[in-house]
A and B are shown apart, each in its own frame.
Chain A
């Protein structure tokens, strides 16, 4: 510990703490702009200058570590004067027109800093040089005229998202923020996560969706969990007049620690499907609006006689529904109606193979935290620049620190620019490749745990011929894996969609062989699919949906999209119930349509890909005639004289999970 004095206040902080953090801990305010608690100190704006006794000139508090006996003053007349001068020069450097800027009046940290210094104007006018405005991006605009070159966006893109798209071109006053090699943002490697916009302290990065819809002080803010995929990112949802204005990543989030992707930040507010707001029933071949009473009694009349008949009702529910709803769905259709075909819209594609492996071997997957210290990441059949992007960020941002990415899959193009090794596979070649890796490692005696392989050379040959990769490349890749200290293997739908438990087992054996999985670490992660993929699997809702003459089909689609193949399969059903939020080709074919709440109008739990149980909050009020999914299930049960009483928290424990739950 180090003793220092700031503004006459004696404080003790850990060695290596910066003056700025020490002051913040002691409740002393030092104005800042380029500083951000989640980013590496940069010392770019100089607003945090302080006077350190015995030091020749004012120092930036954000980058100077404390030392024993340091005496710091933050509010001397000279410091205040310099601070105001620095601020005024920042304003004079570019072109700031507060009257029509979307963040002016509360959300501009730059303007607020000026107000804090009682600045009424800037003494030196700008040079009236026009800086570039880039409006090629679908979600935001970059206006370099408003940029103060704090590089928060550049740091967020690298240190948080790990995409390395943003950087600075030119020098000094001519510096501008650019994407890649100065290409338009919309044509760059940007994965549209929007983290740069979230951290920008000025109006330079303009959020198209929320600009001019108010300031943060006008919004109600609710912390919730994103249901866009199985990662389970914590979000901060901003609401005004029962309308989601903007969604931001929550830096206090247990899983994402602030990260968010395009699916979580932008897709929910870009919904363009037409909402269903009243129950509908097919009458004389046409869907007509009816009352809930009429719809429910008609469908119960149809379903009730089918109870007990294994091939009476087939039911399928979206994995975007909360666990509570999924458990109720399962109890109603599998236990009470006793339908043999009750599953989820993902049909176990992301989970069936891992779940059946887990049933014999217990939890074998690790937590996402393990990616923090990964020195090599083997990514198989998972395009983390397209889906589950936050998982990608968790290791991509460590690439400059030496973490290697070995990317394997049928389409490797999007991660190619970051990977140290890329192997493009052909359909069905994964098993041969994994076994080939095992064989190389065993043959060269590099394994971390014992494994015997009878005919290593044959397996290596098979891997070469199956993938088309050279023996040398496979050998080098295997050696890299085996020599890594903290390797992690990530696999996605490219693997799990094969529904091959043996393939999962071989990947697990490879993980043990290279030391990714041992008694202390579980460096093996499957990214799964939608928000409640794992929960659906734990409830046993992970079988393929193969209709076999069922007399009625019940689709609890919620706000999910119905796949073409699902629509095709159910369209032949003699009786089709669609419990859905939006009009689609599925609801068009239904005999009864029940309008239900979307993700933001209901609350409930989600189990993410690494076993975190998190609750998503209700943030909006649903349209008047729309009902909660669970309310609909329980109403159907009531009318069929069935009592739903099982406890969802117990229901999910009936099967062994592939990852420990917490």
Chain B
């Protein structure tokens, strides 16, 4: 039997959830015995196979048009989509930008903050993605499993991956369920 293919990516997150994934130490070898790791931010391949993968994992929320594309592509190519971590599940800390709006946030970051050189401007290269409201992944594409945590413990990630790899449905409860 072929091992299930897994792809992951990070969008509007801090990479902490992927660090937590690495935090499972030697158990990562066990996971690799069960699954075939395809694309991820920490491997050479950067996008899920066009032919599709079994499990797609997204860390981070969606804060611009580029994030949207990543999320949509992952959703299209993955049979099961996992939103990993509080930013993917709720929007998280970046979503606090939604209180003031994109314009005010950009102005604060690129113009008003003391660390900017005098005369700094908001970047306006047309190549750049357009910023949007920060959204949870499920606000943009349907999500099969929300795995909260900031970050989710290595134990939680191991449990979710191991269950999915073996064709079972992970159920987050008790010790495995935390939002912080």
Contact = CB atoms under 8 A, between A and B. Distances in A.
Interface in A335-394: none
A122 B83 CA distance: 13
Contacts of A111: 179
Contacts of B90: 97, 121-122, 125
A99 B146 contact: no
B145 to A, nearest CB: 8
Task: Name A's interface SS.
Answer: loop
A122 B92 CA distance: 13
Contacts of B92: 97, 99
A128 B91 CA distance: 11
B93 interface: yes
Contact of A121 (B96, B148, B150): B148
A584 interface: no
A105 interface: yes
Contact of A120 (B96, B150, B172, B180): B172
Contact of B180 (A95, A104, A118, A129): A104
Given A120-B146, A128-B98, A98 B179 contact: yes
B12 to A, nearest CB: 14
Nearest to A101: B180
Interface in B79-114: 83, 86, 89-93, 95-96, 98-99
B134 to A, nearest CB: 9
A101 B180 CA distance: 8
B146 A121 contact: yes
Interface residues of B, number: 29
Contacts of A55: none
A125 B177 contact: no
A99 B172 CA distance: 18
A97 B180 CA distance: 8
B168 interface: no
B172 A118 contact: yes
B139 interface: yes
B178 interface: yes
Interface in A88-111: 95, 97-101, 104-105, 111
A548 interface: no
B177 A121 contact: no
Given A99-B179, A104-B180, A118-B171, A125 B148 contact: no
Contacts of A452: none
Contacts of B95: 128
B147 interface: yes
B136 A121 contact: yes
A114 B133 CA distance: 26
B150 A99 contact: yes
Interface string B156-177: 0000000000000001111001
B177 A115 contact: yes
Contacts of B179: 98-99, 104, 111, 114
A524 B93 CA distance: 58
A98 B86 contact: yes
B77 interface: no
Nearest to A98: B179
B5 interface: no
A97 B93 CA distance: 7
Contacts of B148: 120-121
A114 B178 CA distance: 10
A125 B137 CA distance: 11
B150 A98 contact: yes
A130 interface: yes
A128 B148 CA distance: 20
Contacts of B75: none
A27 interface: no
B136 A125 contact: yes
Contacts of B150: 98-99
A120 B147 contact: yes
A111 B86 CA distance: 14
Given A105-B180, A125-B135, A128-B99, A120 B89 contact: yes
A130 B89 CA distance: 20
Interface string A518-549: 00000000000000000000000000000000
Interface string A130-141: 100000000000
Contacts of A122: 90
A123 interface: yes
Contacts of A98: 86, 150, 179-180
Given A97-B96, A98-B150, A130-B99, A121 B89 contact: yes
Nearest to B179: A98
B143 to A, nearest CB: 8
A339 to B, nearest CB: 61
Contacts of A101: 180
B173 A118 contact: yes
B164 to A, nearest CB: 15
B18 interface: no
Contacts of B96: 97
Contacts of B180: 98-101, 104-105
A240 to B, nearest CB: 19
A104 B179 CA distance: 8
Ranked 8 nearest A-B pairs via Cβ = A99-B150, A98-B179, A128-B98, A121-B146, A104-B180, A120-B146, A98-B180, A130-B99
Interface of B: 83, 86, 89-93, 95-96, 98-99, 133, 135-136, 138-139, 145-148, 150, 171-174, 177-180
Given A99-B150, A100-B93, A120-B172, 9 more contacts: A97-B92, A99-B86, A99-B180, A115-B177, A120-B89, A120-B147, A121-B136, A121-B148, A125-B135
Interface of A: 95, 97-101, 104-105, 111, 114-115, 118, 120-123, 125, 128-130
28 contacts: A97-B93, A98-B179, A99-B86, A99-B92, A99-B93, A99-B179, A100-B180, A101-B180, A105-B178, A114-B179, A115-B177, A118-B177, A120-B145, A120-B148, A120-B172, A120-B177, A121-B90, A121-B138, A121-B146, A121-B148, A125-B90, A125-B135, A125-B139, A128-B95, A128-B98, A128-B99, A129-B99, A130-B99
